[in-house]
Amino acid sequence: MVNVQTNGQRRFTVIELPVFPIVKESLLLPFKNLPELVKFAKMPFMLILAVDLLCYGLERQDISRNLTGSLMGYIHLILFAPFSVAWTKLAIRGPQSVAKHPAFAFSRTQWLYLLATTLMMVAIVVSVGFPFVLVRYAQRNFQNQLAMLGGAGMFLGLGIFLIAYLRLGFIFPAIAIGRYAGISAAWKQTAGNIERLAAILFLSYLPYWVVRQAFEWYMGYHPPGVVEAIRGIVDMLLVAWGTTALAGTALAYKAIVMDRPSDEVASASATASR
């Protein structure tokens, strides 16, 4: 149950998110909706394997691993945008809402979702990437004070980015279900829940990260060959499976926005803005 409390000093309505029930539902969602998971993840998974093979070939030609890794990461976001939209819809409105949804297609919704994702990536590059470059420059030139300044800027930028991401995270599920109402609406909807949203996000992704790290540790290094190819396929499968963790934020959005009457949501948004 979502517990509604009114904070008299800050004058806004706080919806206490049930962290563990939401995380549990997010983790169980792939098992409860396995046919839908296969339907929407099959095509991007096969395409990302092809891109992984291309990046491997570039690395064999002495192309920087950092460059190929960045390329791989952004292409993953592009290819899995349709899956992210479909999975978010499923988490919020149930499997019947995606019964007639195309398995892999880009429409206005998917492009808008990808635009929001791109802006998020630009934000983290600006807030963390530039200070990191400054730190590396200072280290190479033995400028300790400049390195300390860059390090402080990097941690400050990371903190600002994380807070902004948590407060604006509802933009993504809102776009996916066609209810995007602007940045200010997303900011108001998450008011008073930043710690719970952080916990939901962290706990939703944690099991996938642990399993992937355990798999990498178990496999270790193998030279190019059959074993390395199998390792790469399983690794990409785990990355694709981990994408389902976005359901945690979607379910939090559902609890705060979708499970309340529209007049109550409007009232809460109005009080949050005072």
Least confident of 56-70, 119-133, 183-197: 56-70
Mean pLDDT of 146-152: 88
DSSP designation for 191: T
Q: What rounded mean pLDDT belongs to the chain?
A: 84
- Tell me the per-residue pLDDT of 202-236, one tens digit each, with 9 for 90 and over: 999 999 999 988 988 887 776 666 677 787 788 88
CA 121 from centroid of its chain's CA atoms: 11
- Tell me the per-residue pLDDT of 22-33, one tens digit each, with 9 for 90 and over: 999 999 999 999
Beta bridge partner(s), residue 5: 14
Percent of the chain with pLDDT over 90: 46
Q: CA-to-CA distance for 86 and 99, rounded, in angstroms? A: 10
Q: What pLDDT score was predicted for residue 106?
A: 92
For 156, other C-beta atoms within 10 Å of its C-beta total 13
- Tell me the per-residue pLDDT of 153-185, one tens digit each, with 9 for 90 and over: 999 999 999 999 999 999 999 999 999 999 999
Tell the residue number behind the tokens 């178990």, with chain if given. 218
Mean pLDDT of 132-157: 88
Which is higher by pLDDT, 188 or 12? 188
Mean pLDDT of 95-107: 91
Q: Each residue of 172-189: b (16+ CB within 10 Å) or e?
A: bbbbbbeebeeeebbbbb
Q: CA-to-CA distance for 119 and 250, rounded, in angstroms? A: 19
pTM for the full predicted model: 0.82
Q: CA-to-CA distance for 262 and 271, rounded, in angstroms? A: 14
For 201, other C-beta atoms within 10 Å of its C-beta total 21
Q: Is pLDDT above 90 for 40?
A: yes
DSSP-derived 3-state class of residue 133: helix
Q: What pLDDT score was predicted for residue 206?
A: 94
Q: What pLDDT score was predicted for residue 165?
A: 93
Domain boundaries, the chain: 13-272
Beta bridge partner(s), residue 12: 7
